[in-house]
């Protein structure tokens, strides 16, 4: 079986989707059976795909501007991917829109439906194409991959995809050492992710401002992640009173930098309006960092009883949750133990097994359609 795997979200600085794509590819190679070949596909005018980015996988590095290719693929469904990457049995897109192919079984990947709920929080081709095309592409796909039960239910009810055509392939936890003790110095409250509107960071800043008023010695807040131009007002606010001097903005961090931040963190806060899964919550729990997260989207199933869920429409509730947790070391210890146990159910090997099953279902569907 020859599989073409869309690697483009992982080509540059990997965020949650890029991490999912990269780690899934690694796990697929590690568990590949005889006769199965995985080829990673990328297209960019300036960024090159290293041939050994995932050892054991082949690569196709098309020197084609990604925006031009998206426009042609999304709106014209042309050219067929065979022109760029040769013939394959399965073509898996890393986003909700189909990759054009003449013969292959085709899969799409849907992480969440925020592009329908709040298109103003999106940009570029996501705003232009996803709301108009995603439902049609998902229904025409031979199989749809998603990352949580919450998103699977939304795909079924809102995009009109039969449940039998949806495969839930949850992300895995990292193989980082467990942290058995809290930092003696330099502890922090941590947020990790792109500083974008979907992450609801204005509410976090409201809550942290109130925390500083009640506890001037509160640990610093670290907002770690890519800072887009649209976050300018948010960044400016962190430099004004009462937040000035209390908020760190390291920008995008590497895997090593991420691990170092988790070693510092007393708590991870994930106040998002919505998440398709919430990978950083699982990463935190796997290390041993307590999690406070929004009680919405897939975070409810991802965090479960191992973390604390709060309504992040209410900054006072988030302030209270932070203050209580920071004051209660035994509770943080209990949450650390619960987090370890909860995170152990998420493995990249299981992700790969689910994706591989989705390929076979796609091939079966394609055969019936062509039969």
Task: For residues 335 and 203, state if they share a domain.
Answer: yes
| Residue 182 counted as domain residue | no
| Residue 155 counted as domain residue | yes
DSSP class of 353: H
Task: For residues 351 and 332, state if they share a domain.
Answer: no
Task: For residues 141 and 68, state if they share a domain.
Answer: yes
CATH of the domain at 252: 3.40.50.2000
Task: For residues 193 and 226, state if they share a domain.
Answer: yes
Under 8 Å between Cβ of 140 and 98: yes
Query: What pTM was estimated for this model as a whole?
Result: 0.95
Task: For residues 41 and 149, state if they share a domain.
Answer: yes
Task: For residues 237 and 352, state if they share a domain.
Answer: no
Task: For residues 87 and 122, state if they share a domain.
Answer: yes
β-bridge mates for residue 4, sequence order: 39, 91
| Residue 47 counted as domain residue | yes
CA–CA distance, 25 with 347 (Å, rounded to integer): 13
Q: Can you give the residue range of the structural domain that contains 166?
A: 2-172+347-370
| Residue 200 counted as domain residue | yes
| Residue 366 counted as domain residue | yes
Task: For residues 268 and 236, state if they share a domain.
Answer: yes
The pLDDT tens digits along the chain (371 residues) read 999 999 999 998 898 999 999 999 999 999 999 999 999 999 999 999 999 999 999 999 999 999 999 999 999 999 999 999 999 999 999 999 999 999 999 999 999 999 999 988 888 889 999 999 999 999 999 999 999 999 999 999 999 999 999 999 999 999 889 988 888 789 999 999 999 999 999 999 999 999 999 999 999 999 999 999 999 999 999 999 999 999 999 999 998 999 999 999 999 999 999 999 999 999 999 999 999 999 999 999 999 999 999 998 899 999 999 999 999 999 999 999 999 999 999 999 999 999 999 999 999 999 998 87
* Location of structure tokens 């400016």: 236
Task: For residues 296 and 311, state if they share a domain.
Answer: yes
Peptide bond into 242 cis (omega under 30): yes
CA–CA distance, 231 with 217 (Å, rounded to integer): 27
| 163: exposed, middle or buried (Cβ count in 10 Å: 0-12, 13-18, 19+) | exposed
Task: For residues 276 and 360, state if they share a domain.
Answer: no
CA–CA distance, 259 with 332 (Å, rounded to integer): 19
Task: For residues 194 and 55, state if they share a domain.
Answer: no
The DSSP result for 59-70, as a single string, is: EEEE-S-HHHHH
The DSSP result for 256-308, as a single string, is: HHHHHHHHHEEEEEE--S--SS-HHHHHHHHHT--EEEESSTTHHHHHGGGSE
Under 8 Å between Cβ of 194 and 15: yes
CA–CA distance, 201 with 221 (Å, rounded to integer): 11
> How far is the CA of 115 from the CAs of 40, 74, 133, 284, in angstroms?
26, 15, 11, 27
């Amino acid at each position: 079986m020859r599989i073409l795997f869309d690697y483009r979200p992982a080509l540059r600085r990997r965020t949650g989707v890029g991490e999912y794509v990269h780690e899934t590819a690694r796990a697929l190679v590690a568990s590949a059976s005889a006769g199965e070949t995985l080829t990673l596909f990328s297209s960019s005018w300036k960024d090159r795909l290293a041939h050994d980015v995932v050892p054991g996988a082949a690569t196709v590095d098309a020197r084609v501007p990604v925006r031009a290719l998206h426009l042609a693929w999304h709106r014209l469904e042309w050219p067929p991917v065979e022109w760029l990457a040769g013939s394959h049995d399965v073509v898996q897109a890393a986003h909700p829109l189909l990759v054009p192919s003449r013969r292959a079984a085709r899969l799409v990947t849907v992480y969440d439906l925020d592009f329908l709920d709040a298109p103003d929080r999106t940009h570029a081709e996501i705003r232009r194409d996803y709301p108009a095309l995603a439902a049609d592409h998902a229904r025409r796909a031979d199989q749809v991959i998603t990352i949580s039960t919450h998103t699977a239910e939304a795909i079924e009810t809102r995009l009109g995809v039969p449940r039998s055509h949806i495969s839930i392939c949850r992300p895995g936890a990292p193989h980082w050492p467990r942290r058995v003790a809290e930092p003696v110095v330099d502890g922090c409250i941590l947020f990790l992710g792109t500083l974008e509107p979907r992450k609801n960071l204005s509410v976090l800043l409201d809550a942290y401002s109130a925390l500083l008023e009640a506890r001037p010695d509160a640990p610093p807040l670290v907002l770690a992640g890519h800072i887009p131009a649209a976050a300018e007002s948010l960044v400016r606010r962190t430099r004004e009173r009462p937040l000035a001097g209390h908020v760190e903005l390291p920008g995008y961090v590497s895997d090593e930098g991420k691990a170092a931040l988790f070693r510092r963190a007393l708590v991870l806060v994930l106040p998002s309006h919505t998440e398709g899964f919430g990978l950083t919550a699982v990463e935190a729990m796997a290390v041993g960092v307590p999690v406070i997260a929004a009680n919405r989207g897939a975070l409810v199933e991802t965090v479960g009883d191992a973390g604390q869920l709060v309504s992040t429409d209410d900054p006072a509730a988030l302030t209270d949750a932070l203050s209580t947790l920071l004051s209660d070391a035994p509770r943080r210890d209990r949450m650390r133990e619960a987090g370890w146990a909860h995170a152990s159910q998420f493995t990249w090997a299981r992700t790969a097994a689910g994706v591989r099953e989705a390929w076979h279902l796609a091939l079966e569907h394609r055969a019936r359609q062509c039969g």
